[in-house]
């Protein structure tokens, strides 16, 4: 993984590349490069032992020209402000690419939640909610899950926020990614992974994806696991998988349902029946039809880009490809389906959840899934067309679509 302080530079470099072929007024460009608000917090967490730990964290609100800030909450020991700033900026582009009326934001706490008990995780999230409650809200800033946070954290957050804001008519809409029985939407948990499948399927002719194709997947968390389940339905076979404990392969195909069950019991994928252990290099550089980074940033650096043998990369993680690697891949003719398109299914269904909460509606699973597929297909077609017209990579095409929409909204406001 790359040094975290470089991640915001990575986001800026991508933006510069997109802006270089556009006519965007200087003042607007400066606004696009700069978060509107950066909130740094620290608060005490009482551990079960009675000991008190000081927790540090951030909420970055990058841009709200197109609607309330929107973006996940990440709990990870290596979270940095630079990283959260980059992730917030990417959210602005993502909501614009799929054309949902949100802006971009992101939050993070510097903590390894795996070292905490469930009551400690509850107190952590409740304190975070109390600390930032004034700067979030259904029409202000709407968080969601990200790495190491799930529906459980969303409910703890929502409950504290709702108590502090009795005036709010639709308190459930303060956060998305809630479990269905707690005001969540059908299809939200699966949305990012399934949206990735829909994107790949929508682009399959354009990128010459074979009817039957092999996939190597890094990350088998929320995003990776639903992608793995869904990709089989469009002709994909997962032949390699990696997570934070290691990587495995089976050229005949890994049975994902059994693998997920194995992981649930053994907490690792290593040792799964019929599989062979491989290195991270083999996982990401091997001769697969599609490589899918679905873990953390920086998985594909320049040296990896020079030697990897897959013709297609589907970015389900945020920021897995470094700018220098991007250039090398583009020269080598490797197609990168960029994060701001490929993993936008999550924020799309987050919008559906927020909309249902704001209108006291409940959509059936099939309605959500159909709307998600339509939205992803339309976004993929728009991005592909823009990249073809401008003769750019899909990333720059996607960024130009997004930047144009955000810039237009900023102009209307000025
Ligand atoms: P998660 O916590 O559920 O899963 C993360 C996975 O990455 C786990 O399998 C973990 O073992 C693996 N991992 C962590 N560190 C690793 C390492 N050093 N090497 C290899 N594997 C490692 O998180 P998630 O929600 O699935 O998110 C994964 C990625 O997708 C992140 O980049 C996140 O920002 C992005 N994303 C998530 C959503 C969402 O809706 N959850 C939406 C858009 C983008």
Residue 360 resides in a domain = no
CA-based nearest residue to 199, from 227, 221, 218 = 227
Task: Output the residue whose Cα is nearest ligand 1's atom 13.
Answer: 244
Q: Distance between CA atoms of 16 and 262, rounded to whole angstroms?
A: 44
Give the Å distance between the CA of 50 and the centre of ligand 1: 31
Q: Distance between CA atoms of 224 and 228, rounded to whole angstroms?
A: 6
* Closest ligand 1 atom to 224 CA: 26
Residue 101 pLDDT exceeds 90: yes
Return the percentage of the chain with pLDDT > 70, whole number. Answer: 99
Ligand 1 pocket: which residues have CB below 6 Å?
1, 145-148, 192, 218-224, 242-244, 294-296, 316-318, 343, 346
What are the two backbone dihedrals, phi and then psi, of residue 61, each rounded to the nearest 5 degrees?
-110, 100
End-of-domain residue from the set 172, 200, 215: 172
Cβ atoms of 149 and 75 within 8 Å: the answer is yes
3-state secondary structure at position 403: helix
**In which band, very low, low, confident or very high, does the pLDDT at 18 lie, cut at 50, 70 and 90?**
very high
In terms of domains, do 296 and 253 share one? yes
In terms of domains, do 271 and 165 share one? no
What pLDDT digit, counting tens, does each position of 191-225 carry? 999 999 999 999 999 999 999 999 999 999 999 99
- Helices 365-390 & 81-97, crossing angle to 10 degrees? 90
The pLDDT assigned to 414 comes to: 77
Q: Distance between CA atoms of 21 and 372, rounded to whole angstroms?
A: 31
Instruction: State the Cα angle at 131 between 129 and 134, rounded to 5°.
Output: 85
End-of-domain residue from the set 108, 138, 172: 172
Residue 239 resides in a domain = yes
The pLDDT assigned to 135 comes to: 98
Residue 356 pLDDT exceeds 90: yes
Question: What's the domain count of the chain?
Answer: 2
Mutate to test the pocket of ligand 1, among 11, 192, 195, 229 (most ligand atoms within 8 A of CB): 192
Residue 311 DSSP one-character state: S
Residue 66 resides in a domain = yes
Residue 357 resides in a domain = no
Residue 29 resides in a domain = no
Q: What is the mean pLDDT of residues 138-152?
A: 96
Q: What is the mean pLDDT of residues 55-69?
A: 98
Q: How far is CA 116 from CA 120, 125, 152, 242, in A?
A: 6, 12, 14, 24
Give the Å distance between the CA of 119 and the centre of ligand 1: 23
Q: Distance between CA atoms of 175 and 185, rounded to whole angstroms?
A: 12
Q: Distance between CA atoms of 63 and 93, rounded to whole angstroms?
A: 10
* Closest ligand 1 atom to 319 CA: 32
Tokens matching residue 155: 């409910």
In terms of domains, do 151 and 271 share one? no
In terms of domains, do 199 and 335 share one? yes
Residue 237 resides in a domain = yes
Tokens matching residue 129: 């909610």
Instruction: Point out the residues that are catalytic.
Output: 106
**In which band, very low, low, confident or very high, does the pLDDT at 3 lie, cut at 50, 70 and 90?**
low
In terms of domains, do 64 and 159 share one? yes
CA-based nearest residue to 132, from 40, 64, 203 = 40
Residue 5 resides in a domain = no
pTM exceeding 0.75: yes
391-394: list long-range contacts, CB under 8 Å, 24+ apart. 392/21, 393/326, 393/330, 393/336, 393/338, 394/335, 394/336, 394/337, 394/338, 394/341
Domain range holding 317? 191-342
In terms of domains, do 205 and 157 share one? no
- String of b and e for 50-65 (b: at least 16 CB within 10 Å)? eeeeebebbbbbbbbb
Q: Distance between CA atoms of 58 and 75, rounded to whole angstroms?
A: 11
What residue has token string 């959210």?
Answer: 91
- Give the bridge partners for 144, in sequence order: 72
End-of-domain residue from the set 172, 201, 216: 172
Residue 56 resides in a domain = yes
In terms of domains, do 45 and 165 share one? yes
Give the Å distance between the CA of 225 and the centre of ligand 1: 10
Mutate to test the pocket of ligand 1, among 146, 225, 256, 316 (most ligand atoms within 8 A of CB): 146
In terms of domains, do 154 and 239 share one? no
The pLDDT assigned to 369 comes to: 96
Summarize the chain as % helix, strand, coil (round to 5): 50, 20, 30
- Residue 153 is part of a domain; what is its CATH number? 3.40.50.10860
In terms of domains, do 285 and 168 share one? no
- Residue 313 is part of a domain; what is its CATH number? 3.40.50.720
In terms of domains, do 145 and 71 share one? yes
Q: What is the mean pLDDT of residues 91-107?
A: 98
The full length of the chain comes to 414
In terms of domains, do 168 and 203 share one? no
Residue 5 pLDDT exceeds 90: no
Which residues lie closer than 8 Å to 245 by C-beta, 6 or more apart? Answer: 267, 268, 269, 270
Q: What is the mean pLDDT of residues 357-382?
A: 97
What pLDDT digit, counting tens, does each position of 156-199 carry? 999 999 999 999 999 999 999 999 999 999 999 999 999 999 99
Mean pLDDT of the chain: 96
Q: What is the mean pLDDT of residues 336-363?
A: 97
What residue has token string 């979270």?
Answer: 79
- Give the bridge partners for 44, in sequence order: 54
In terms of domains, do 138 and 281 share one? no
Q: Distance between CA atoms of 324 and 328, rounded to whole angstroms?
A: 6
């Amino acid at each position: 993984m790359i040094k975290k302080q470089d991640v915001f530079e990575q986001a800026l470099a991508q933006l510069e590349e997109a802006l270089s072929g556009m006519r965007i007024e200087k003042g607007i460009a400066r606004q696009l490069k700069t978060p509107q608000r950066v909130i740094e917090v620290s608060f005490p967490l009482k551990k079960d032992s009675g000991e008190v730990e000081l927790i540090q964290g951030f909420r970055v609100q990058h841009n709200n020209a197109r609607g309330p800030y929107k973006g996940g909450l990440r709990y990870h020991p290596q979270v940095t402000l630079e990283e959260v700033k980059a992730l917030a900026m990417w959210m602005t582009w993502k909501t614009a690419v799929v054309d949902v009326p949100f802006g971009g934001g992101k939050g993070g706490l510097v903590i390894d939640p795996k070292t905490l008990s469930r009551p400690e995780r509850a107190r952590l999230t409740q304190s975070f909610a109390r600390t930032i409650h004034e700067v979030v809200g259904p029409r202000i800033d709407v968080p969601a899950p990200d790495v190491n946070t799930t529906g459980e954290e969303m409910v703890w957050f929502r409950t504290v926020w709702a108590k502090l804001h009795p005036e709010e008519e639709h308190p459930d809409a303060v956060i998305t990614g809630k479990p269905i029985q707690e005001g969540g939407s059908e299809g939200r948990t699966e949305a990012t992974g399934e949206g990735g499948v829909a994107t790949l399927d929508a682009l399959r002719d354009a990128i010459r994806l074979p009817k039957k194709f092999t996939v190597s997947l890094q990350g088998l968390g929320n995003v990776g696991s639903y992608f793995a389940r869904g990709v089989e339905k469009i002709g994909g076979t997962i032949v390699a998988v990696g997570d934070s404990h290691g990587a495995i392969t089976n050229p005949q195909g890994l049975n994902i349902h059994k693998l997920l069950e194995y992981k649930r019991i053994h907490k690792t994928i290593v040792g799964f029946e019929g599989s062979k252990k491989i290195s991270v290099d083999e996982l990401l550089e091997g001769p697969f039809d599609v490589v899918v980074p679905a873990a953390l940033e920086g998985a594909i650096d320049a040296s990896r880009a020079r030697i990897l043998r897959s013709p297609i990369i589907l970015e389900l993680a945020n920021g897995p490809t470094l700018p220098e690697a991007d250039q090398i891949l583009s020269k080598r003719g490797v197609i990168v389906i960029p994060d701001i398109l490929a993993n936008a299914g999550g924020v799309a269904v987050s919008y559906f959840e927020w909309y249902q909460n704001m209108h006291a509606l409940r959509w059936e699973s099939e309605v959500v899934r159909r709307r998600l597929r339509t939205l992803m297909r339309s976004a993929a077609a728009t991005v592909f067309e823009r990249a073809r017209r401008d003769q750019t990579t899909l990333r720059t095409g996607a960024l130009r679509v997004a930047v144009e929409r955000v810039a237009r909204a900023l102009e209307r406001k000025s």
